[in-house]
Amino acid sequence: MNRRLFLFWLANMGLVACKGAKLGKVGEKKPDELLRDALTATRQKHGVPALAGAFASGDGTVICDAVGVCRVGGEESVSRDDAFHLGSCTKAMTATMLARLVEREVLAWETTVAEAFPDLQDRLHPKFRQATLYHFLAHRSGLPDDTQPDAVIFPRLKRLTEPMREQRRRMVEWLLSRPPAYPPGEKMVYANAGYVVAAAMAEAVTGRSWEELMSAELFEPLDMESVGFGAPPKVYGHDHSGRQCQPITPSPESDNPPALAPAGGVHCSLNDWARFALLHLKGAQGEQGLLLKPETFRKLHDDPFQQGYALGWLVVKRSWAKGIAFTHAGSNTLWFAVIWLAPNRNAAFLAAANCGGEHAFRACDDAIGRMIELFL
């Protein structure tokens, strides 16, 4: 997510929630019809090409839909089964996969980058060698703010052609050979690269790529069949740097370099994304028999430093949630997506648009607000 949009979202997230227009009593229409009406009205209000939304309840109920067109200037409509780019909402997924490895003692939260890459120790800056897996996931690793792409590393990444494991290993060398921006563990600084380093640590100890690990440890167990990496193949992302949304043909060039995918490179349908949301909703409620143990979910959701961020989740309080809510937003500037979990209300809400910019943020936030009114 670019720095300007990221800071705008942090400053304004949830302000629109619960202010959407009333759409009639729930008893007058079926829930899926009400959702479609809400998404249609919201899309028209904010002028995004397509808008998708989903509500999920802890009892397993999922209501989702998508309205609008695959690309501006085209006639093909989106469907509820179409994939949307999730951007930085991928981070919670990466953290969940790593938690699976921690439970099996393949990794530990305290595993240092030097332990994961013993052959690279001489190339790592001494102050980075003791940065841990937990540090990288909690944005406390010493890496600098990179919500604006690194002017040196980003162009180098685009030129790489090696397998993903080797590309991420190179990133570890490039990033951690430099002095840290602050002592690891001292404070929180949002760094996308931290999730790439964490993924590379898993790749180093397992011999498998992040993509392989995500499929085996998370997507397949949750039956998330629409998941892929990079730009979705059918629905176009749109650039909104000018006055109108300009469709960008899906291709490797219409997303960040694939080596960065652990920080924000997953796409899927909202129905499948809701499966992931329900996993964490139930995990936050302490339910047994899930993909992870209750104590592992607590590790993913706890905010011991009171920094407003756990592992892949912002931790906030909202009156409509009756207490703690977990949220994250994501954008590669051509898409926008946001997720909210409200454990005390037994509910999760998701929204995504196939364009970037502040108007996409407002459309998704408005959609979340309308769904809260409809379903809570």
Distance (Å, whole) CA 114 – CA 207 = 17
Q: How many CB atoms lie within 10 A of CB 71?
A: 23
Distance of CA 309 to the CA centre of its chain: 13
8 A C-beta contact, residue 283 and residue 290: yes
Sequence ranges of the domains in the chain? 3-89+228-375, 93-212
Q: In what order do the strands lie in the sheet with 50-57?
A: 62-68, 50-57, 347-353, 336-342, 323-330, 314-318
pTM confidence score: 0.94
Distance CA(47)–CA(227), nearest Å, equals 27
**Cα–Cα distance between 343 and 282 in angstroms, integer?**
8
Query: Would you write out the chain's pLDDT as a tens digit for each of its 376 residues?
Result: 554 445 445 546 654 444 443 444 555 789 999 999 999 999 999 999 999 999 999 999 999 999 999 999 999 999 999 999 999 999 999 999 999 999 999 999 999 999 999 999 999 999 999 999 999 999 999 999 988 877 888 888 888 999 999 999 999 999 999 999 999 999 999 999 999 999 999 999 999 999 999 999 999 999 999 999 999 999 999 998 877 889 999 988 889 999 999 999 999 999 999 999 999 999 999 999 999 999 999 999 999 999 999 999 999 999 999 999 999 999 999 999 999 999 999 999 999 999 999 999 999 999 999 999 999 9
Q: Determine the Cα–Cα distance for residues 249 and 88; give it in Å rounded to an integer.
A: 21
Strand runs labelled E in 179-319: 228-229, 237-239, 246-248, 266-268, 314-318
Contact status, residue 69 vs residue 61, Cβ threshold 8 Å: no
pLDDT tens, position by position, 288-297: 999 999 999 9
CATH (residue range 3-89+228-375): 3.40.710.10
pLDDT digits (tens, 9 = 90+) for 302-324: 999 999 999 999 999 999 999 99
State whether CATH 1.10.3470.10 applies to domain 93-212: no
